[in-house]
Structure 1
Amino acid sequence: MLLIYTQKITPRIIYIFKHLCTGILGISIKFTTKIEEFIAHDGMKLSYGKQPLGKELFFQKIDLLTEQGFSEVEIKVQPWEDSVCFFPVPEASALPFDIFAASFYLLSRYEEYAPHVKDEAERFPVSESLAYQEGFLSSPVVDKWALKFRNVLAERFPDIKLQERFFEANAVMAVENIFAYKNKGVLRSFSGMQRDFFQLNFNKVFDRLQVGFRIKKDPFNIFEDLIELIKKYKLEMYFMFQLSNFSIHDRNINYNRIPGRSVIKSVGDYARVGLLQGYYAAKDMKTLRTEKLRMENIVHSSLDHVLNSRHDLGLPENYNNLVELEVHNDFSMGYPDAMGFRAGTCTPFLFYDINMEVTTPLMLHPYVFNSGIYENVKAEQVHQEVAKALRQVQEVGGKFRAVFKNQDFSSYSNKVMFYSVLKQIYEIKDF
């Protein structure tokens, strides 16, 4: 057990120390504000404050973790060993920066609460992020810092027992449309065919007719192929299905259609199934509850996994809605238009609500790769960037998650490339 002395124990301090010490390093911790208790403790201990009490392991703090709400924070990023750091502190500290405040800043998405310019889809854009502007978006800096912190602890306390970290990779399939043409209804099918005809997409016109007459399999229905891969190579994979009402933003088939429900049930036998939040579900609690109940009625179990179809975190309202509905895992922590680590980490972490200053039970699972970035990119470049990101995650024993769409593996996309990326992620040799 590691005893931590600090003059004031705040929710932010508890949150970030538990994540770094217990969540990443596997060390149980205890806090104290009593100097006498800290001095009398014979085991592992450290102090976190403005100045050391004596010759103990000391980490100097800035004020971020003792504040409430958010304010303008001045940040100067500087190189540090094989990484970067910010929030520098004097030499008396065991590390040259406040690792706990810096980690909290990134994990809490502090910058997304502050005023910022939104993109065309009303989202926090990657260009507004500190990591992008300072060139460390491609590095899981929080995990790297945690391992540096581990080295400091191991040097000071040689008998300390630390948990091992193991690399893991898996894919998340965002299914906005189970089918391209099947079960879309007469009016939608006719208008779609008319549009394809006037746009000279004759291949799609023929495909519509063949699917309609059951001559050909629907091009988006690639689920049997992916299930075969899951079964053959024992892969862990997530499928997030959209069950929204039809609108200009959400255009899946009706959630009551038997073929669609059948696909969800069959996939659920071999993979983890969750909800792809529709456009309105990300903003409205009532709509989210409706979509949640629809999924639970199909799979006959509680909903545990969600992905935001717009990749809009909607801090903190969207996450608080998930908490209220007792959803446990969200996979939206990433940028749909840039590869990298949105929260500076490849380790799942609990959502901290800055408005309420509370740690929630919602676990956030960061993703690194989004297939939407690579629709018009050469395969060689994609493989190089994926390989670089994989190395970054492997070096810190983290979790590499990639988000795909089911249509990525259809004849309407570069399915050869995306299958090869899937092979690269899962390290399949005889694909």
Structure 2
Amino acid sequence: MLLVYTHKISPRLKYVFKHICTRILGIEVSFTTKIEVFIAHDSMKMSYTKQQLGNEFFIKSHEILFEQGLSDVEIHMHDWGQTKCFFYNGEKSAMPFDIFSAAFYLLSRYEEYLPHVKDEFGRFTATESLAYKKGFLHQPVVDIWAYKFKDALQKQFPEFEFPTRTYSIKPIIDVPSAYSYKLKGIMRTLGGVIKDFSRFRFISLYRRFMVILGFKHDPFDTFKYVINRQKTSNFKFLFFFLIGDYSTYDKGINHNKKKFVSLIKYVADYCKVGLKISFFAIEDEAILKKEKLRMEDILNTNLKASRQSFSKLNLPESYRNLITLEIQEDYTMGYVNQAGFRAGSCTPFLFYDLDYEVQTPLKVNSYHLMDYALLKNRSLLDKKKALNEIIYEIKQVNGEFVPVFHNYTFSDDDRWKGFKELFNIILDSANEF
């Protein structure tokens, strides 16, 4: 166990120390404000305060972990070996940066509470982030800093044995619509036919009729392929099905269709299943509750995980709604068109509510790559390179890789050519060391 002496035990301090020490490094941590308790502790210990007590392992603290609410935080970025960091704390400290304050800034999504420009869907974009602007979005910096902290502690306490963790993967399959043509109902099918005809999309029109008449396979129906890949993997895939009402943004399958319900139950026999929250449910707790109950009726169990349409997050309201409805895990945190680490970590973390200054029970599983982010790489070779780069970064810290693919990504559509191979690279990455 690591004992931390500090001048004040704040909720922020406990939160970030537990993420770095316990969740990433696997060691228990406790805190004291009493010097005599600190001196009497005969195992690994450090002080985290403004002034060093003596010659102990000491990291000089930044004020952010002892503040409440938001303030105008000055950030000056510095290179630190192969990575970057901020909150420089001078040469007397055992580490040149206050990694705990820097990690808190990223994990709490402090910058998303500050004024910023949103995109057309009302989302915080990668280009608005500190990580993108300062060139470290491609690295799980919080985990990298944690390992630097571990190395520094190991030098001071060579007899202490740290546990080891291993690289893992958690593949996400997002299902905004289970089928392209099937189960759409008469009016939607007729509307699709008229649209295809008016835009001279005769190939699409031909495909539509072939699928509806049962002569061709629906292009979005790739579930048997994914289930077969699940059967050969040691890691559970997590599917998110949209069962919200039809709207401008969400055009899924009606949740009352028996074949659609059977599909969800079939997938749940092999994989984990969560709720893809519809666009209008993101800001309306009543709609969200209705969708949650629908999914629980289908699965016949309590809903544990969710993901929001279009990866839209409104902090802190979006997460507060999930907490109120006792949803335990969320998989929305990430960028649709940019690979990288939105919260700076490849280790799941608990949501910290900056308005209430409290650690919540909601586990945030930030995703690091969505299939759409790879489309900007034109050749398959470039896509593989981009994918392998992010896998390499996560493996360096033995983290958990969370990629998001869609059911239609595995179709024969030219746009998604080669994506089955990319998915296999991810699955195989867990077997390579």
Which TM bucket (shorter chain)? over 0.9
Query: Tell me, what secondary structure is at the counterpart of 1:310?
Result: helix
1:235 is displaced (CA, Å) by 4.5
Aligned to 1:126: 126
Question: TM-score if structure 2 supplies the norm length?
Answer: 0.97
Aligned to 1:350: 350
Contact (CA 8 Å) 1:407, 1:413: kept in 2 or not? Answer: no
Matched residues, number:
430
**Cα distance in 1 for residues equivalent to 2:31 and 2:397:** 27
**Cα distance in 2 for residues equivalent to 1:60 and 1:336:** 37
Aligned to 1:384: 385
Distance 1:413 1:241, change over 3 A: farther
Q: Alpha-carbon deviations, 1:8-47, whole Å to 9, x = none?
A: 1100000001111111111112111111221222222111
Q: How does 1:184-333 map to 2 (within 5 A)?
A: 184-333=184-333
Contact (CA 8 Å) 1:170, 1:425: kept in 2 or not? Answer: no
Aligned to 1:146: 146
Q: How does 1:87-98 map to 2 (within 5 A)?
A: 87-98=87-98
Aligned to 1:173: 173
**Cα distance in 2 for residues equivalent to 1:258 and 1:181:** 16
Contact (CA 8 Å) 2:230, 2:237: kept in 1 or not? Answer: yes
Aligned to 1:43: 43
Query: Tell me, what secondary structure is at the counterpart of 1:259?
Result: helix
Aligned to 1:410: 411
**Cα distance in 2 for residues equivalent to 1:44 and 1:303:** 40
Moved more, 38-47 or 399-408: 38-47
Moved more, 55-64 or 371-380: 371-380
**Cα distance in 1 for residues equivalent to 2:423 and 2:116:** 35
Query: Tell me, what secondary structure is at the counterpart of 1:360?
Result: strand
Q: Supply the AA of the counterpart residue of 2:246.
A: F
Q: CA RMSD in A?
A: 1.5
Q: Supply the AA of the counterpart residue of 1:425.
A: I
1:246 is displaced (CA, Å) by 0.8
Contact (CA 8 Å) 2:137, 2:340: kept in 1 or not? Answer: yes
**Cα distance in 1 for residues equivalent to 2:223 and 2:25:** 38
Contact (CA 8 Å) 2:240, 2:275: kept in 1 or not? Answer: yes
Query: Tell me, what secondary structure is at the counterpart of 2:124?
Result: coil
Query: Tell me, what secondary structure is at the counterpart of 2:420?
Result: helix
Q: Which of structure 1's runs of 4+ aligned residues deviate more than 6 A?
A: none
Mind listing any 5+ residue stretches in structure 1 that lack a counterpart? none
1:413 is displaced (CA, Å) by 4.6
Aligned to 2:427: 426
**Cα distance in 2 for residues equivalent to 1:428 and 1:390:** 8
Aligned to 1:2: 2
**Cα distance in 2 for residues equivalent to 1:209 and 1:36:** 80
**Cα distance in 2 for residues equivalent to 1:75 and 1:364:** 25
**Cα distance in 2 for residues equivalent to 1:276 and 1:268:** 14
1:165 is displaced (CA, Å) by 1.6
Q: Alpha-carbon deviations, 1:44-85, whole Å to 9, x = none?
A: 211101011111111101100000111111101110112111
Question: TM-score if structure 1 supplies the norm length?
Answer: 0.97
**Identity level (%):** 44
1:429 is displaced (CA, Å) by 11
**Cα distance in 1 for residues equivalent to 2:8 and 2:49:** 9
Distance 1:310 1:77, change over 3 A: same
Contact (CA 8 Å) 2:168, 2:430: kept in 1 or not? Answer: no
1:229 is displaced (CA, Å) by 1.6
1:236 is displaced (CA, Å) by 2.2
1:232 is displaced (CA, Å) by 3.3
Q: Supply the AA of the counterpart residue of 1:147.
A: Y
**Cα distance in 2 for residues equivalent to 1:49 and 1:413:** 57
1:414 is displaced (CA, Å) by 3.8
1:323 is displaced (CA, Å) by 1.0
Aligned to 2:31: 31
Q: Supply the AA of the counterpart residue of 1:396.
A: V
1:161 is displaced (CA, Å) by 2.5
1:117 is displaced (CA, Å) by 1.1
Aligned to 1:52: 52
Q: Alpha-carbon deviations, 1:108-152, whole Å to 9, x = none?
A: 100001111111211111111000000000011100000000011
**Cα distance in 2 for residues equivalent to 1:8 and 1:428:** 43
